[in-house]
Structure 1
């Protein structure tokens, strides 16, 4: 008898799922990865089901992020995947209150109880299965092994959850510093949880019966555990059904019941096969090479820039070792007295650079025998400090200096260097034979090699094979110049349209170059780069990327044949230039007994309570990472220099408060970092007891995370949610947080606006923090620009709310408040004067850190001021020096108080010989996009180096250290040249 079967085909970003339903029962289900062969895999899976459904009348619906193209090409009905999810839940798990579904690149939350709402990620694949796959590649394990590792974790690290690319930038330093893979694996799953709850839930509470769907949530038990623990779910309320990987396909099958079109098995297979052959439709770019002859000429030109090599087994004499422990790879170079390469090595870190170096040193000593004597060694890269401590390497140098030293060897007149590594882009201009300006990708690896490598592996190719495919593609796909995660979505769209691998390979090469040029360097023309450009880094070994770079800038560049070894080669040259009397490099005998253990401890030497990773090596050597200050290293007194960031924070936290009156809570966030003296004095004078929330912490942030409605707002704003929860815990019945459109007018701008987030954040808190509904949350609009206007506003609000208060009370309190604020400003300037005098008297560099008041919070700045001070710099803030310089001419509308302060502080740095400017910028701060280019222009026009540090909730100082050390190295090089002249 002819029966009817309903088919659901879910074509996702990484997998294809097929479910067949007959008489209300699932009779067949299948789940397979498609490795970018989307349409072919769909046809293959239908063939596999022939034995079960071959004789039935079929009704079919296609769904999934990659399914729309197939549906359009074939004419088969399409159902949007969120709707398909709801269909599946309604039929199979009707008691669910909330559905969380994670796919290869898609994430959804569907709220079924209360107000029905569906939320789905946009173009970003952060916190999805593809992200987990990428992280597994980074740890050199399979996804299954990653899951197994996570089950044995002892601690959770903070890893970026907003984007997979940012997360990789956080994970690699942890691996390079010796963090256990088990802990990193669990932290990766926690990042997925944070992304799901913070990026999708965005303030709406996830509670009740939670249904978890999708392959990652079915296959990864460690991910299930992180969701259970974070949401505090028991087994009764956390549902991980066997249907989870197939749920959307099952929902599509339910939807198919309402479709009109019917097929026989043969008709359906023929329809899908015809759709698989439909050509791609996309935007194309010109080919990289039009002929083999053109490629041969290109290769011959670049092969000229090479280094002579000698056989280490035949060489006798002195040698110098350079090590580059980079973000994803480890490189070693041994050079002779005449700078020829005796030995080199290039391999992935595989999550443990110490093992790689140990193996290579053993091999090197075996090859050298008694003939070759290593007199000096140097290490650079992310793992510099770890490797130097582990193996007694003589010198450690910042990456930018190592790369400049190597580039100068090949091109003495070099004026611009661009190095694209696995996750890092380092670009620097050279002026007067020293580094003048540095560009680094801050926390985003957009435009780096690891993206192409990960993508190549996901499609079953080595990176070498994948890149060669694109050299002669006639139609490279135009993927734009965007964040690599967005590019990933563009690639997936091209795949849906049927684009071939060679088209995607060449298109990715062009995009990597555009990202580097326009997102990191922000070049407007080739002249911004220079005339003598050296390109290096493993990524430029890809001829397709090199060709794209030359085509994009319209000029030829120098790529050394050892492009991927330039950091190690530069380190070796540095070791040769700075040969010690006796090398401290580990000897073969000690190496034979080498051991490396890692432990985790909580530091109790100060209030930071840092979670430390302690690496122990033979001979009592230790390397400690994770510390914000120098105290765990035994250096707590050595660098006790003036630090206005520390002083201001302590001043505000220790303001005297009156006790005994009615308690009013103040959240210590955003504009309260400057105005707390004002409001503390004002409310205290009125007889209230001011209760300030506790110091910020990561735990406080997590406490308020559930009510944050936007994952793109800056971290200081996100933290306020935690401060509100902290005040509620303290038992206050009233919280005071005024809205303030205007800031104080300091006479150097056309207006004195507050940042819109700062100005009106109380309104957002009132709408999203449910705990405020049972409290007296006071959020009046006040203006402090004019004391008389403020008094009138305060009289109207406070006298009405508190009848005991009279007009004279408000006037008296207002006068006290303005005096307290003026006293704070005066104290800051006096401390600044003393700090500047100390730097001048002791011949020290002055670090003028310009930012916003909340950047003094140690939780927000992650101890950046302490890190900078550890290099012997005296720390002052912009509000201590802005009045010491003339107001500079700016080329933007200057209508913000804090902006005008920063511009004047930049002008102060220009005219102060021993002063250097460092700007702190929060991710998500839109209006700082105005300030950065303007401050850079002011500083660079005065011959100084502009340094920008971007910060958010992730505590990773790796990129910041590179910038600071590069800046200091450039300053020292400039001083040497000045003496020589």
Structure 2
């Protein structure tokens, strides 16, 4: 005889869900709550709420979820795999469903029920899940709910990578820096999640029929629902969002628990959870500092590399402004003729670099002595072109040049520079007083400033406070050097294994350094980096990161006190070198008072690429255009005087097919206008027409063409041109050819 009550506990990567069912499988109670990495405490709190309502009842119990296996084993409570739990719940509640899509905190699942049961789940990457959405909301400086609200007012969608949060940041940050509407970016983030689910999980199977959408993100985020329904082409009858969606897997877990023979009082279950022992598999390293005295000596040594300061209110003479519009931060430095700092600023740009910098320049004008003349200005960084156009800055320079000029100011014999910024790592080898080689992080920005900032915010700490926590940690956790998304799981596991926040902070600082040395620089030994090493970038203002770098290298390095401002300082030095007799073109205080700009979207008609442009107008005929892939979209003159050879080639290939077809033919062959077939089309056309066949080619490549074949792509690691070819095959099938070659 089945027990009267069954309890399902779903311990996910970010949330805990509990469900109580009766003997007929009806849900009597449910709760959905974020655990903020305090798994045992959250589970215990939820069980105590249940205990108040069911003090004397017995429950059969089971645990599921990506973070539930360890807890189940240590507490000696039955465990069921979450995909199987979801399958049981679907069979109970929605037996006529054809497919199920469930998105959790760090996992995504698809269950195909029609045409053979097949279950798929993300493996090592949490791209396109709730954690991904949280990261993107953090990047925009909003909550997940606010991100959802923004998405509902979007006008256009941008292509954004969703395989991992790092790639997505690399797509989103330039959009923000170039003035894209936040509403459009928000909707694009949700579309990226849909694309990742369809191409990354479905991988060759069509998602069709009655589709059940489960999990917290798909229940609470209206913009995400809208993107899924639109992309899959579902109507209300075939897109099902059940009211119990957030706790659906916990419900399936309770269904599974109902088959158990042994039942427990809720107090016994609480005791089992409370006394569950943590794993002792945690690996730790050496403390960064063993004493306060050791830390004080470290601070005194680095204080030697500091600049002098001058009072902006009393100084008289020439000054030079340097601006670094970075990926996530804004830096400004105003220096005197002899290199002293009159004004400096460093802060997050919150996706609005132009507004931030305009405000700071306005503040400089309001505070400075009327006898100060800004003789020159220069800007570098991601937002260089936008800032130069908007504020009439005199010079724009490459980041490497700016950073080298700044480093050489502090150490004329510098032979290696490493700069760790918000989203990039730059390393320069210097020979004969010039840059000899450059190393950059490529597609991944794990180990950058935003990497540790993401974890600080996830754990509820300000970045500065979080950095200080690890300085005297006795057992820094060895987290290795991995991608941000993977590291999320490592951090959570370390917490479950008893690591303190201090240990994790120190461990993350070490991870940043290991990533830079062994993945970006790919050094075999410290000697590869040289003897006179200058470190810069805001990340090195973190004493824990700097100490980790010195300990890993086994030598001391030079960190200027303005480490985070080095790009801006290098720009100021460049502006000083280039200053002539003429006055600076920098926007005046009077113009700044009335400074406004408008942003609008448009499609370039210069060629068939039809680039989506962001046009920012500043008044008086000044404007900045981004999104263009060539100079035409930027408003280049004489755009029609140069022949378009790509267009000529394309038209010539199509004319071959159009004008040389047999009058009588034995069949029609489809040829995809992609990959090698595009280059070799005249050959294949001649071959088949000589054999007596009519040839038909697919339409021109486009984003829509990619989406047409997205559901048929069997592997996420295939290159984009190969993925695009799937769309061409679908296009030929729609044209009704006899066969496709």
* Equivalent position SS for 1:196: helix
Structure with greater contact order relative to length (CA < 8 Å, sep ≥ 6): 2
* Residues 475 and 654 of structure 1: CA distance in aligned 2, closer, same or farther (over 3 Å): farther
1:868-895, Cα deviation, whole Å (9 max, x unpaired): xxxxxxxxxxxxxxxxxxxxxxxxxxxx
1 CA distance for matches of 2:645 and 2:537?
Answer: 39
Task: Identify the match of residue 732 of structure 2 among 717, 727, 736.
Answer: 727
Q: Aligned pair 1:533/2:533, yes or no?
A: yes
Which residue pairs with 1:615 in the alignment? 616
1:634-687, Cα deviation, whole Å (9 max, x unpaired): 325489999998887777666576223544322233333554454344334445
Preserved CA contact (<8 Å) 1:70 1:496 = no
Matches within 5 A, 1:444-593: 444-580=444-580, 581-593=582-594
Q: Which moved more, 1:680-689 or 1:162-171?
A: 680-689
Preserved CA contact (<8 Å) 1:8 1:61 = yes
Preserved CA contact (<8 Å) 2:611 2:633 = no
2 CA distance for matches of 1:560 and 1:237?
Answer: 61
Count of residues in correspondence between the two structures: 734
Which residue pairs with 1:921 in the alignment? none
1:452-509, Cα deviation, whole Å (9 max, x unpaired): 1111111111112222222222222222222222222222332333332222222222
Which residue pairs with 1:692 in the alignment? 697
1:611-645, Cα deviation, whole Å (9 max, x unpaired): 11111112221111111111122325489999998
Give the alignment's TM-score, normalised by structure 1: 0.72
Which residue pairs with 1:378 in the alignment? 378
Which residue pairs with 1:218 in the alignment? 219
Which residue pairs with 1:188 in the alignment? 189
Preserved CA contact (<8 Å) 1:509 1:544 = yes
Preserved CA contact (<8 Å) 2:51 2:267 = no
* Equivalent position SS for 1:696: coil
Task: Identify the match of residue 706 of structure 1 among 711, 719, 730.
Answer: 711
Preserved CA contact (<8 Å) 2:5 2:20 = yes
Which residue pairs with 2:315 in the alignment? 315
Deviation at 1:51, TM superposition (A): 1.6
* Residues 131 and 240 of structure 1: CA distance in aligned 2, closer, same or farther (over 3 Å): same
Q: Which moved more, 1:361-370 or 1:646-655?
A: 646-655
Preserved CA contact (<8 Å) 1:38 1:495 = no
* Residues 567 and 121 of structure 1: CA distance in aligned 2, closer, same or farther (over 3 Å): same
1 CA distance for matches of 2:692 and 2:517?
Answer: 59
Deviation at 1:280, TM superposition (A): 4.2
Deviation at 1:140, TM superposition (A): 0.7
1 CA distance for matches of 2:348 and 2:237?
Answer: 44
* Residues 54 and 372 of structure 1: CA distance in aligned 2, closer, same or farther (over 3 Å): farther
Which residue pairs with 1:670 in the alignment? 675
Unaligned runs of 5+ in 2: none
* Residues 395 and 87 of structure 1: CA distance in aligned 2, closer, same or farther (over 3 Å): same
Deviation at 1:372, TM superposition (A): 1.9
Task: Identify the match of residue 660 of structure 1 among 648, 659, 662.
Answer: 662
Which residue pairs with 1:177 in the alignment? 178
1:118-170, Cα deviation, whole Å (9 max, x unpaired): 10001211001111111111111111110000000000000002222100110
Preserved CA contact (<8 Å) 2:422 2:538 = yes
Preserved CA contact (<8 Å) 1:10 1:248 = yes
Deviation at 1:113, TM superposition (A): 1.5
1 CA distance for matches of 2:550 and 2:638?
Answer: 51
2 CA distance for matches of 1:287 and 1:646?
Answer: 63
Which residue pairs with 2:156 in the alignment? 155
Which residue pairs with 1:231 in the alignment? 232
2 CA distance for matches of 1:81 and 1:306?
Answer: 56
2 CA distance for matches of 1:366 and 1:95?
Answer: 69
* Residues 672 and 415 of structure 1: CA distance in aligned 2, closer, same or farther (over 3 Å): farther
1 CA distance for matches of 2:190 and 2:367?
Answer: 43
Deviation at 1:526, TM superposition (A): 2.1
Which residue pairs with 1:806 in the alignment? none
Deviation at 1:311, TM superposition (A): 2.1
* Equivalent position SS for 2:212: strand
2 CA distance for matches of 1:677 and 1:533?
Answer: 58
1 CA distance for matches of 2:552 and 2:205?
Answer: 46
2 CA distance for matches of 1:224 and 1:42?
Answer: 29
Preserved CA contact (<8 Å) 1:446 1:516 = no
2 CA distance for matches of 1:639 and 1:413?
Answer: 51
* Equivalent position SS for 2:264: coil
Which residue pairs with 1:399 in the alignment? 399
1 CA distance for matches of 2:4 and 2:471?
Answer: 50
* Residues 368 and 639 of structure 1: CA distance in aligned 2, closer, same or farther (over 3 Å): farther
Q: Which moved more, 1:115-124 or 1:485-494?
A: 485-494
Which residue pairs with 1:334 in the alignment? 334
Preserved CA contact (<8 Å) 1:658 1:688 = no
Preserved CA contact (<8 Å) 1:106 1:121 = yes
Q: Aligned pair 1:96/2:101, yes or no?
A: no
Q: Aligned pair 1:132/2:137, yes or no?
A: no
Preserved CA contact (<8 Å) 1:3 1:56 = no
* Residues 586 and 202 of structure 1: CA distance in aligned 2, closer, same or farther (over 3 Å): same
Preserved CA contact (<8 Å) 2:327 2:381 = yes
Deviation at 1:194, TM superposition (A): 0.5
Which residue pairs with 1:917 in the alignment? none
2 CA distance for matches of 1:687 and 1:428?
Answer: 62
Preserved CA contact (<8 Å) 1:456 1:466 = yes
Which residue pairs with 1:908 in the alignment? none
* Residues 549 and 638 of structure 1: CA distance in aligned 2, closer, same or farther (over 3 Å): farther
Preserved CA contact (<8 Å) 1:66 1:496 = no
Which residue pairs with 1:281 in the alignment? 281
2 CA distance for matches of 1:155 and 1:679?
Answer: 39
Q: Which moved more, 1:265-274 or 1:472-481?
A: 472-481
2 CA distance for matches of 1:154 and 1:125?
Answer: 28
2 CA distance for matches of 1:550 and 1:675?
Answer: 56
Preserved CA contact (<8 Å) 1:280 1:499 = no
Which residue pairs with 1:352 in the alignment? 352
1 CA distance for matches of 2:101 and 2:396?
Answer: 47
